[in-house]
Amino acid sequence: MSRIARHFNPAFVVAAAILILALPHIAANEYELRLITLLLIYAIIALGLNVLVGLTGLVSLGQAGLYAIGAYTAAILATRLGVGLVPGLILGMAFAGAFGVLLAYPTVRVRGVYLAVVTIAFGIIVENVAIEWDSLTGSWVGISNVPAPTLLGLPLDTNAYFIVVGASALIAFLVNLNLMNSRFGRAMRATAQSEIAARSLGINVVAIRTLAFVVSAMAAGAAGVFYVYLNKYISPDIFSFTDSIRFLLMVILGGSGTALGPVVGASIMTYLPEYLQAFGPWQAFAYGLLLAAVMFFLPRGIVGSVEHFLSGRMAEARPDTVREERPRLADIVAVDPADGSACLDARGVSVAFGGLVAVDKVDETVDSGKIHALIGPNGAGKSTFLNAISGVYRADSGSITFLGRDTTRLNSHQLARLGLARTFQNTELFSNMTVLENVLVAFHKEYRSNIFSTICRLPSFRRDERHFREAAIALLGFVGLSAYAHEKAENLAFGHQRQLEIARALALSPKLLLLDEPAAGLTHAEIEQLIALVRELAASGITILIVEHHVELIMEISDHVTVLDYGELIASGSAEEVQTDPKVIEAYFGSQSFGDGPEPAAGPGAGSAGGEA
Ligand code: ADP
Ligand code: MG
């Protein structure tokens, strides 16, 4: 993405402010100024919706309902209580924000098309309440005679009101921009791309989705308040389902997930119908055709496509990531020397999928600072066991103790915050984000600066951001990925993706690191590197539980080996003990003895049958 669009630029803000101040004088007439005011109101909605759709990957088709809540709040307050613009704005945004929390709740269970249906239902409910609650909303007649807006007791004329709306749109733009380029924006994008990975990094996905809903709802509420004072009259038909679609189209057409896209989209969707009036009866047809054409040729939206085109040409050398010597892990994240106590203790853990018992009453104790291996044929339940102890699945029975705490009922983001980090059998990177951003996501919970200081770019935010950026760069240096820091994660070679997943996990300052088949698909040289890395991690005090098919690797590095077969623990002991155990030889290699049989599914595609959650 181009730097211009992604970073706060004071010159841009000054230029935008001058433009807003000048527009009332440039505009040809009252009608044109009104149209531009409307455009800015739509831009506010679209910018808020961008946080939901573009960053968090959730679709709302109920924004018109939130827009209506803001509008009715302000209209009722103004006509009945003579309340001015600012209190109306605060209450309108607060009400809409509260409904945003309500709308976020279903995301605990539903997503995608189902969530879209929930938001459509919400929009319909609001519209119907506006129709039915006659005494409050005036039903179809609506609310008219809205007084002129007052700011701090002073009435605002058309020009002054335009400037207030313009300033608010500029603020909305900056909020969107600053949110995008912050830990919150990264957490939102991470959640959208891989929920399971985001959770494994300590991100409370429900909280992040709620935040996105609230931000988008407050923006829609504010837009509704501004609309009331522009139009002086509201009625239910202004807030229909069609309007919700239009708001969503603005974001998608302009380029969802970009800073300028929502503004461009709002401009097009405001002006296009005006220009198309020349087509007379063909107006609606031309409108539809144009939208379809843009989406067909520019699927990333207008701004998204331009940024994509530019980013290809503007690949810059960024010296900040080139480091001379390999940093020490202890200088980057907190690592405590191992004390030999039990790090993880699982007792009688069982997980069943319907009738299939994937993990059957498994006991496993992992001592701190040690390298434990979990082996077994494909489908033995190894990944399921890792998922159970890392909170991805809840064990059907049994108990799990991590660092002396009963963690049986904790979910994965809580476990991550306690110091349990993991990688995935099928790598779960945030593929659209850069390598550096992937690691930065994992520092989310370490930031001390709150959302307010983030949006306002206060010194506490800047300090945090600088600090963790340096730490993330150092971690990349530690695993040998410095050169790729600004590359998209999806462009990395497979071995590098695995390394990145480990770097990301290390950012949690883990006490226990779960590695699910980290050598699968690696070259011999990469496996050698991996062995050295795992040893180094263990030596620095991080306990390792590794699932692997690669026998030599396991025998070389493990202090202890546990063998699963059909979900049951069939052997447990040192590498030597396990190698000679007849039950293991039988289960794992048929009748062949350990080592000289055909090597079980190592290399690319190993264990692809074991599904991840
Ligand atoms: P491993 O990692 O040892 O290869 P897994 O733990 O992935 O094995 O799988 C153990 C068994 O559980 C397999 O039979 C697999 O098909 C089944 N299984 C794994 N995950 C699921 C799931 N989400 N739903 C249903 N069955 C599953
Ligand atoms: Mg597996």
Every domain of the chain and the residues it spans:
46-313, 332-419+510-613, 430-508
Q: At what angle do helices 63-81 and 112-132 cross, to 10 degrees?
A: 30
pLDDT, one tens digit per residue, over 119-153 is: 999 999 999 999 989 888 888 888 888 888 988 88
What ligand is nearest to the CA atom of residue 426? Answer: 2
Whether the CB of 383 sits within 6 Å of ligand 1: yes
pLDDT at position 589 is 64
Report which of residues 274 and 76 the model is more confident about. Answer: 76
Q: Quick one: pLDDT at residue 321?
A: 52
Q: What is the mean pLDDT of residues 290-304?
A: 87
Across 51-62, average pLDDT:
94
| Mean pLDDT of the chain, nearest integer | 89
What residue owns the CA closest to ligand 1's atom 7?
610
Ligand with the closest atom to the CA of 515: 2
Q: Is 358 in the pocket of ligand 1 (CB under 6 A)?
A: yes
Is 298 buried (19+), middle (13-18) or exposed (0-12) by CB count in 10 A? middle
Mean pLDDT of 455-465: 94
DSSP 110: -
Contact between 423 and 516 (Cβ < 8 Å) = yes
Determine which residue's CA is closest to atom 6 belonging to ligand 1.
Answer: 381
Q: Is the CB–ligand 1 distance for residue 382 below 6 Å?
A: yes
- Per-residue confidence (pLDDT) for residue 604, from 0 to 100: 40
Confidence at residue 138, expressed as pLDDT on a 0 to 100 scale: 82
DSSP string, 20-76: HHHHHHHSSSHHHHHHHHHHHHHHHHHHHHHIIIIIT----S-HHHHHHHHHHHHHH
The burial class, CB within 10 Å (0-12 / 13-18 / 19+), for 292 is exposed
- What pLDDT digit, counting tens, does each position of 392-425 carry? 999 999 999 999 999 999 999 999 999 999 999 9
Q: CB of 8 closer than 6 A to ligand 1? A: no
- What pLDDT, on the 0 to 100 scale, is given for residue 593? 45
Residue 81: exposure state from Cβ atoms within 10 A (0-12, 13-18, ≥19): exposed
Q: Is the pLDDT of residue 6 over 80?
A: no
Helix (H, G, I), strand (E, B) or coil at 352: strand
Question: What per-residue confidence (pLDDT) applies to 272?
Answer: 86
**β-pair type (512-516, 420-422):** parallel
Protein residue closest via CA to atom 13 of ligand 1: 379
> 342 falls in which pLDDT band (50, 70, 90)?
confident
Residue nearest to atom 19 of ligand 1 (CA): 611
CA of 361 to the centre of ligand 1 (A): 15
Residue 596 has pLDDT above 80, yes or no: no
Lowest mean pLDDT among 29-33, 88-92, 117-121, 134-138: 134-138
Cβ–ligand 1 contact at 607 (below 6 Å): yes
Q: For a pocket test of ligand 1, which of 357, 383, 568 has the largest count of ligand atoms closer than 8 A to its C-beta?
A: 383
Amino acid at 499: Q
Residue nearest to ligand 1 atom 12, measured at CA: 358
Half-sphere exposure (Cβ direction) of 532: Cα atoms closer than 13 Å: 10
DSSP 8-state secondary structure symbol assigned to residue 327: P
Query: What are the pLDDT digits (tens) for 211-236?
Result: 999 999 999 999 999 999 999 999 89
Pocket of ligand 1 contains residue 106 by CB under 6 Å: no
CA–CA distance, 524 with 106 (Å, rounded to integer): 47
Helix, strand, or coil here: 546? strand
Ligand 1 pocket mutation pick from 353, 389, 392 by most atoms within 8 angstroms of CB: 353
Check residues 107 and 394 and name the one with the higher pLDDT: 394
Distance in Å, CA 7 to ligand 2 centroid: 41
**Across residues 554-575, what is the average pLDDT?**
91
304 lines ligand 1 (CB under 6 A): no
Nearest ligand to the CA of 613 is 1
| Structural contact between residues 129 and 4, judged by C-beta atoms closer than 8 angstroms | no
pLDDT at 192 over 60: yes
> Which range, 98-112, 300-314, 376-390, has the best average confidence (pLDDT)?
376-390
CB of 376 closer than 6 A to ligand 1?
A: yes
User: What are the DSSP calls for 428-479, one per residue?
Assistant: ---TTSBHHHHHHHTTGGG----HHHHHTT-HHHHHHHHHHHHHHHHHHHHH
Q: What is the pLDDT of residue 323?
A: 55
pLDDT at 89: 96
Q: Is 268 in the pocket of ligand 1 (CB under 6 A)?
A: no
In this structure, which ligand is nearest to the CA of 423?
2
Contact in structure between 168 and 44 (CB atoms under 8 Å): yes
Number of DSSP helices (H) and strands (E) in the chain, helices first: 26, 12
Is 378 a pocket residue for ligand 1 (Cβ < 6 Å)?
Answer: yes
Cβ atoms < 10 Å from Cβ of 121: 14
CA of 611 to the centre of ligand 1 (A): 6
Written as six digits, the tokens of 26 are 């440039």
Ligand 1 pocket, residue 384 CB under 6 Å: yes
> Across residues 85-100, what is the average pLDDT?
96
Dist CA 320 CA 374 (whole Å): 40
What's the whole-number mean pLDDT along residues 253-274? Answer: 92
Mean pLDDT of 296-310: 89
CATH of 46-313, one of 1.10.357, 1.10.3470, 2.40.50, 1.25.40: 1.10.3470
Give yes or no for residue 388 having a pLDDT over 90: yes
Q: Does residue 426's CB lie within 6 angstroms of at least one atom of ligand 1?
A: no
Nearest CA to ligand 1 atom 23: 613
Residue 381 Cα, ligand 1 centroid: separation in angstroms? 6
Would you state the pLDDT for residue 316? 53
Q: How far is the CA of 428 from the centre of ligand 2 (A)?
A: 14
pLDDT confidence bin for 606, thresholds 50/70/90:
very low
**CATH 3.40.50.150 at 332-419+510-613, yes or no:** no
| Cα–Cα distance measured from residue 525 to residue 539, given in angstroms and rounded to the nearest whole number | 21
Contact indicator for 60, 99 with CB cutoff of 8 Å: no
> Which of 15-19, 55-59, 500-504, 603-607 comes out lowest in average pLDDT?
603-607
Ligand 1, residue 517: give the atom nearest the CA: 2
Residue 380, ligand 1, Cβ within 6 A: yes
Residue 498 · residue 427 · CB < 8 Å: yes
Regarding the beta carbon of 301 and ligand 1, being less than 6 Å apart is answered no
Of 302, 217, 199, the C-alpha closest to 257 is 302
344 bridge partner residues: 366, 402
The verdict on the CB of residue 240 being under 6 Å from ligand 1 is: no
Higher pLDDT, residue 82 or 415: 415
Q: Cβ(379) to ligand 1 under 6 A? A: yes
